[in-house]
Amino acid sequence: MTEFAIGQRWLSETETELGLGIVVNLDYRLVTVFYPACEEERTYAKANAPLSRMTFAAGDRIQTQAGDALIVSAVEQVDQLLIYQAAPEDDPAALRPVPESQLGYQVELSAVTDRLFSKQLDSNNWFNLRVAALHARTQAEQSPVLGLRGPRIDLIGHQLWIAHEVANRFAPRVLLADEVGLGKTIEAGLILHQQLHTHRASRVLIVVPQPLVHQWFVEMVRRFNLHFSIFDRERLEALQPDESVRDMFARLLEEEHSGVASTPENPFLSEQLILCSTEFLAHCNMDQLASAEWDLLVVDEAHHLSWSEDAPSDAYQRVARLAAAARGLLLLTATPEQLGVESHFARLHLLDPDRFPTLEAFRSEQQDYQRIAALAGELVDNSIWSADLKARLQALLPDIAPEESRRAQILRELLDRSGTGRVLFRNTRKHVEGFPERHVEGIPLPFPEFYANGEPDDALHPESGFNDDRWCAEDPRVSWLAEFLRRDRSRKVLVICARKETAIDLHAWCGYKLGMNVAVFHEDMDLISRDRAAAYFADPEDGAQALICSEIGSEGRNFQFAHHLVLLDLPRNPDLLEQRIGRLDRIGQTQDIQIHVPYFSDHPQEVLFQWYDQGMQAFTRTNPAGTQILAGSREQLDAALASPKDTTLRAALVEDTRTLAQQLQRQLEAGRDRLLELSSHQPEQAAALIAHLADADAAPPSDFMDSAFERFGVEVEEHSEHAIILKPGPHMIEPFPHLPEEGITVTAHRPTALSRDDLQFLTWEHPMVQGAIELVLSEDRGKASVALLRNPKVKPGTLLIEAFYTVECSAPRALQASRFLPGTIIRSLLDAQGRDLSQAISFPGLSQQCHKMEKPLARKIVDSQQALLEKLLANDQQRVNAQAEEIIQAALATMRTHQDGERNRLVQLQQKNPAIRQEEIDFLDRQTDALRQHLAEARCQLAAVRVIVAAAS
């Protein structure tokens, strides 16, 4: 085993871009190396750490942490550490000792020329593969859809736009509030994927209601290749074994001895990606959870976080603790105002407490907001602006000339400065087209005498007066349901009722007494039983015909394969009704949705049905003003529910609700919705993203991977038109990244990936492809090669050198220095006189004419031409260094312009709108300083070289 010592300098063989590391910790099995260039730490098993010791010999050039360049004249070893005697090149007498721990972190690797001149030559195929990997890495960094290419999703504009807009922010804090079923989970997944892929985030916590835990887990793996660890009580207990009495004494003695109290390991630090339920939060140690350094916190179904000034709910307070500690926050809800404006405010407050400090300020701003939103609508609708419109605009934005040519800028400013533009995204079916229609059928039934014997919790649920399933025999809704199911056994039917007891009784009755094929789903079932029930219902062949769900049990679930929805009762809240219909009315629904509502005549159930149906058409279309309608008609509704036989009261309720709904609808159309729409979806930019992704789909990694499979001995078998099976081959020397022993089937074709969950979607962002790129680039093979050129037009014996250089910057990943200096490749093609022919002869064109040269001949050529090659390469390095310097200077200039622009915008905004936290500006300043330093230190290095000799034809 290698002997490591603290202070030694080592280089990661697999991640050379980390720069020179320093050993900072050792135990008997592990070694921890800190990489100052990227401020990252890695811990390796000592036995197989992929590390090379960095040592220098007399004559080598070294650089100290202070940036002094020195020439080594002697080396000595003291306690396993090296001390170099070194002096500046122009003052050899000024010798001084430089312990290796004081070396800088930049490394000059001469591995390529070393390999060439030590004649470790590889075939053309290895060289080509290496160049392809270099290109793949740089192209990825330059892609405008970086982080969005990998997910297995349909390319849907509004989702991609939101993901792109949010994921590019530092530590995004937003409320994703698309209408139910429009893809908030997908949007959150895209944001996570991009943030993780670009290393803006590495630690993520997702909190969802218990019934959705498994669905999220599966969706994250299946669509985004993100493997979350589910944390529940059992897992936590297993991670925190009870301390034995002996251990406790040992710890106390230790504490007494050292005078320091030892803190137990935080179990939430054991995984990077954690998924847990809201219920789990209620019982876990919030101090530990909140201190687990989350980059991103995601909370689904956030409308449950109810809040009022004097009584914030426990769930709200717990999430608030996490939200304050996490850098980024995504709240998801389809019905942001379901619990009223107070809770809506409270959630915005979680996202940005500075921007939304008090409920009072929020309320008054809301009123202003409607005016501004209406103005935004006018700006969009009118190509020529009237003098009055311009005057109103000028009053709002005095610092911008109100000219039509500045329309885009003005709208952006309006969004930024007013309302919830930066933090709230809401798309509605109205402007995301392509959804099927919804139809409703009301089934009036007589109220059974039998119910007169019970004592129901409330009149809407007469069955609640019974504590077993006896009511099912007497309730005509049940006999209607049984008959409805019998009439056509091939259709899948989702049945929803408010109470879990109703669902349980109904299931027992239909299943055991009537022998029907039904499944049940409610909040008291454990996760496994619930998922089993959902899967049983989803099974198209042998599955259940109906799934009977309670209200909460079905929330957030995907049942769009069914087209029939039976509502056995109706909720009082329009948002809840929309949640119910949203189980079927979701992206992916292929047919019109048939909603069936059995209800009792002259009963509160009929009142509710008519209120929804005739008053606000809530069954057949989504109603964004549901909460306001409820607020505006509550008294009338209560009165009509209390006297269901009073048809006059009912007719007035329906009529007044209709007027109110139309009025609210008009109001929404006129103003507020427009501003939110504008900030939630930019169709032109979304179309550009889709086009970029379509281009990316048209250039999949197939060719690159085929060569990698061949080089590394992975066996490839045909599977079907667009899919192949990959297996470890018999000659495979080392494991291939993400290739399991039993093999996998992959496709690079998006439509196939979408229709076949069992296939992996192989894009440039798939972990296997990323792993293959890293593997190839960490290999020495392919760095130096000698090839035979067959081209009748080239004189035999002509010598060419093809060299690929990379311009790269080692910087902490979170800085995203590649935005300004994406990994860049410089190619040279030199003739024996040192002329560069790279512009005239392309790499692919030349590669086609390059053929294998036998090793002995290749070695002989390198031997005989070494002096010339050394000279040509040294001169070339100087030439490309100058070119690289220009690239680096240009990157610095772009960075400065960008950062200055961002800063100015934030400062300006801060004066007009408290939306901008000072913290954000300070962060930007620190980021600019760090970027300046790291970009200036970018290096140009030779990454691969090929010597080409023309053959006699």
Ligand X SMILES: Nc1ncnc2c1ncn2[C@@H]1O[C@H](COP(=O)(O)OP(=O)(O)OP(=O)(O)O)[C@@H](O)[C@H]1O
**Which positions touch ligand X (CB under 6 A)?**
153-154, 156, 159, 178, 180-186, 334, 556, 558, 582, 586-588
Residue 916: CB minimum distance to ligand X, A: 29
Residue 580: CB minimum distance to ligand X, A: 10
Helices in 490-573 by DSSP H: which ranges? Answer: 500-508, 527-538
Residue 537: CB minimum distance to ligand X, A: 14
Positive/negative CA dihedral, 376, 382, 385, 388: negative
Residue 222: CB minimum distance to ligand X, A: 9
Q: Is 184 annotated as a binding residue?
A: yes
Cα–Cα distance for residue pair 520/532, rounded to 1 Å = 10
Cα–Cα distance for residue pair 102/89, rounded to 1 Å = 19
* 808-840 burial code (b ≥16 CB/10 A, e <16): bbbbbbbbbbbbbbbbbbbbbbbeeeeeeeeee
Residue 186: CB minimum distance to ligand X, A: 4
Cα–Cα distance for residue pair 516/497, rounded to 1 Å = 18
- Strands 723-728 and 744-747, bridge-based pairing: antiparallel
336 versus 402: smaller Cβ distance to ligand X? 336
74 versus 687: smaller Cβ distance to ligand X? 687
Residue 566: CB minimum distance to ligand X, A: 19
DSSP string covering 159-188? HHHHHHHHHTSSS-EEEE-PPTTS-HHHHH
Q: Is 620 annotated as a binding residue?
A: no
Q: CA 708, 711, 713 angle in degrees (round to 5)?
A: 100
H/E segment holding residue 874: helix 855-912
Q: Is 181 annotated as a binding residue?
A: yes
Residue 52: CB minimum distance to ligand X, A: 44
335 versus 824: smaller Cβ distance to ligand X? 335
Alpha carbons within 13 angstroms on the beta-carbon side of residue 805 total 27
As a whole number of Å, the CA-based R_g of the chain is 33
Positive/negative CA dihedral, 11, 16, 18, 19: positive
Residue 811: CB minimum distance to ligand X, A: 33
Other CB atoms within a 10 A radius of the CB of residue 902 amount to 16
Q: Is 747 annotated as a binding residue?
A: no
178 versus 808: smaller Cβ distance to ligand X? 178
179 versus 876: smaller Cβ distance to ligand X? 179
- Report the residue closest to ligand X, judged by CB: 185
Alpha carbons within 13 angstroms on the beta-carbon side of residue 361 total 14
Residue 247: CB minimum distance to ligand X, A: 45
Helix (H, G, I), strand (E, B) or coil at 154: coil
681 versus 934: smaller Cβ distance to ligand X? 681
186 versus 595: smaller Cβ distance to ligand X? 186
Cα–Cα distance for residue pair 503/531, rounded to 1 Å = 16
428 versus 610: smaller Cβ distance to ligand X? 428
182 versus 207: smaller Cβ distance to ligand X? 182
Helix (H, G, I), strand (E, B) or coil at 133: helix
Helix (H, G, I), strand (E, B) or coil at 890: helix
Q: Is 17 annotated as a binding residue?
A: no
Residue 154: CB minimum distance to ligand X, A: 4
688 versus 754: smaller Cβ distance to ligand X? 754
Closest CA to 371 of 390, 387, 392: 392
178 versus 569: smaller Cβ distance to ligand X? 178
223 versus 392: smaller Cβ distance to ligand X? 223
Q: Residue 620: CB partners within 8 Å, gap ≥ 6?
A: 437, 438, 439, 440
149 versus 650: smaller Cβ distance to ligand X? 149
Assigned token pair, 623: 């109603």
Residue 815: CB minimum distance to ligand X, A: 31
Residue 191: CB minimum distance to ligand X, A: 12
Assigned token pair, 109: 């690797």
Cα–Cα distance for residue pair 423/362, rounded to 1 Å = 14
492 versus 946: smaller Cβ distance to ligand X? 492
Cα–Cα distance for residue pair 236/204, rounded to 1 Å = 17
Sheet with 273-277, side-by-side order of all strands: 229-231, 273-277, 204-208, 296-299, 328-332, 173-176, 424-425
Residue 721: CB minimum distance to ligand X, A: 21
H/E segment holding residue 804: strand 799-808
Residue 194: CB minimum distance to ligand X, A: 14
Assigned token pair, 800: 């060419």
Cα–Cα distance for residue pair 390/739, rounded to 1 Å = 62
Closest CA to 645 of 598, 609, 601: 601
Residue keyed to tokens 């405010």? 345
Distances (CA, A) of 758 to 223, 717, 753, 754: 11, 16, 8, 10
Q: Is 648 annotated as a binding residue?
A: no
Helix (H, G, I), strand (E, B) or coil at 229: strand
Closest CA to 937 of 111, 90, 200, 65: 65
Closest CA to 119 of 874, 866, 862, 949: 862
Q: Is 485 annotated as a binding residue?
A: no
Residue 550: CB minimum distance to ligand X, A: 16
- Cβ-in-10-Å burial (0-12, 13-18, 19+) of 647 comes to exposed
Q: Is 180 annotated as a binding residue?
A: yes
208 versus 803: smaller Cβ distance to ligand X? 208
Binding-site residues from annotation: 178-185
Residue ranges at the known binding site for ATP:
178-185
